[in-house]
Structure 1
Amino acid sequence: MTPTVAPFPAARLRRTRQSPALRGLVRENVLCVQDLIWPVFVRDGEDVEEPVNSMPGVVRRSVDKVVEAAQEAAALGIPAICLFPYTDPAKKTPGCEEAWNPDNLSNRATRAIKAAVPDIAVMTDVALDPYNSDGHDGFVVEGEIVNDATVKALVKQALSQADAGADIIGPSDMMDGRIGALRRALEETGHSNVTLLSYAAKYASAFYGPFRDAVGASGALKGDKTTYQMDPANSDEALRLVARDLAEGADMVMIKPGMPYLDICRRVKDTFGAPTFAYQVSGEYAMIAGAAQNGWIDGDRAMMESLLAFKRAGCDGILTYFAPAAARLLQQA
C-alpha cells in the first residue's frame, strides 16, 4: 500500500482522532472475546486453588475447580480453554508413561469439562515435559533428546487426549515430523475432526520460567531446550517450520512467545494466510501483572494494549492468562 496524503492543512491527520465515535469508525483492528483461549493449570485433589507465586492471580486448580473455570469461561463468551497438568513428581519417569494414561490429569479434566460444558472447546498440550523426570519435551537418551522415538510417544499421548474428548490438540514439543504422524494417527482412529493447532514456531525463550514453575518442570529440567526449540535470532526458519507443519496437516499454527515475536506473527500471516495464533506466555503475563500489582503501570490498559498488539500483527487468536479479565472488560465496552 502506498498512502496518498494531501498537503497540510488539507490533510489534518488528527481530525479522525477527535472523538470516540471517529476513532471507532477508522479503527483498523478490533479485539473481541472470541479471539481468546484461556490456559489453565490442573492438579490433583479436590476443591483446590493453589496460587502460582511467579504468576500473580494465576492458580493451579483441581479438576472440579477446572470445571468451574470452564463454566466461567463459557459465561464470558471465551470459546476455548487449554489444559496444562501439574503432575505428581512420583508419576514422572524417563519413559513418560503417564502422558498417555487415559486417567491422567489432563484426560480427566477434559472429560469433566465436556460433561459439564459441552459447547466450550477443550485444547490439550502434546509434549512429554509434564511427565518426564528429565523435564524435556522428548525422551532423553545419553544426553540427547531423541526425535523419532519421541514422535511415537506423542502419537500415543494425542490419541489418549482425543479419546477423552479434546477438540484441539496443541503439539508444543517441536520434534520433526510430529504433525504428519499425529494427523495420520487421528485419521486412522476415527478422530478426523480433531483440530491440530501446531506450535510451529516455538522459540527457546527465557519467558517460559513462570510456566515451568506452574507445571512443576523447573526442578526436573536438566540442561536446556535449544536443540529442539528455535534460536531467537532466526526469522526465516520460522517460515520454513510453518510451511512444513501446514503441509503435514496442521489446521492452525502458533507463534510462541508472543510479544517479543510480533514480527514473526506478521510474516507468518502475510505469507500463508492460515489461522495464526500467538501465546502470550507466562513471562509476558508476569511482567504486566507484577508491574500492575506494584502500581508501576495501569494493569488493565497494559493488558488490553498488549492483546490488541497481537491482532495488529495479524493473529486470529491469542492464548493468554488474561482471558477472563480481558473478557470482562470487553463485555463492558
Structure 2
Amino acid sequence: MNAYDKGSNARHGPAGQGVPDPRPELPDPAVPADTPGPRIPPPDPAVPAAPPGPRIPVPGPGGPADRPPEPRSPAADGIGTGASVPGPPAERGTGVAALSLRYRIGAAVALAVVAAGVCVHLGMTFLHVAPSNTVSKEHAETIESWIYPEFEQNWKLFAPNPLQQNIAVQVRAEVRTADGEARTTGWYDLSAQDGRAIDGNLLPSHTQQNELRRAWDFFVSTHDNDNRPVGLRGALSEAYIRRIVALRLHRVDAAGPGGVVDRVQVRSRTANVPPPQWSREHISTTPVYRTLPWWYLPADEARGGVG
C-alpha cells in the first residue's frame, strides 16, 4: 500500500509504509460542517491558479491604502542633470532686519541723527536751568539762542509762586477817518483773540501763545506802579508793546477805509482765578484794571507798518 494513497491524511512510518490516521478528516473551514447543501471541494493542486488581477485601491483618510509609492527617476529630482535642487524657503526677518542693506544703513543714519539732536537739546536745557558755571557763562549766547523762544523754562506753573490770575491785555484807538473826523474805538480784547485762535488748535503758533503775554510781562517788569519806565529797557518795552497793538489794530481794520490810527491806549484786566466749588476759600473775583497813558504812533506804525 502506497503512502500517498490517502492524501495528506496518510501517516508516514519509518519504512515509508502508509499507516491510517485514526483522526477523522477535518471539515473545510470555509464551509461549516452543519451547513446544508453541497460542500465546495478544496482546490486541486494539479490545476494552475489564475493570475492575480489588478489591485483596486481602497480609499482611506490618507489616500489609496494598497497603492505602492511610484519610483522617481534621478532626473526628476535634478540629480545628475546639472540643475540646482531648490531647498526649503528661507525665513524672512521682521522689523529692520527685513529691509535691504541700503535701507538699513539709511535707518541707522536717521536714528543716529535723532539721537544726536536729543542729546544736544538735553544738554542745552541742562545748561540753561543749571546754576551759573564756567560752561554756561562761556557759551551763554549759544544756549540762549537755542532755548529762546520755543523752549523757555519758567516756574509760573509750579511752587513757590504759581500764577493764580487771569490777565487780559486790551487796547483802544483814537482814529482819524477819511473825512477828517476823530473818533475813539471801543476796547479790543487782544488776549481773548489769542485764546480763540488757540482753542481747538492742535498746533498753535508761538506768536498766538506767547507774544502778547511776554510783551506785557516785559513791560510790567521794567515799569513802576505809576507806569514810569525804569532804565533803558523800560523804553524798549514800551516800543515793543506799542508796535504789537498797532499791528493787531491794523488786522481788524480799526481805523476803517481810508482812516489812520493816531493814538493807542493799553490796559490790563486782572482777575483772580475762582476757587473750586468744594473749597472754603473766599477770593474776590472782581477785575482790577491797569490803564496806561495814550501813546502817539509814528507815521509808519499808524498805517500798520513797523518800519
- Regarding TM over 0.5, the answer is no
TM bin, normalised by shorter chain, reads under 0.3
- Could you say which structure has the larger radius of gyration? 2
Relative to the length of structure 1, the TM-score reads: 0.20
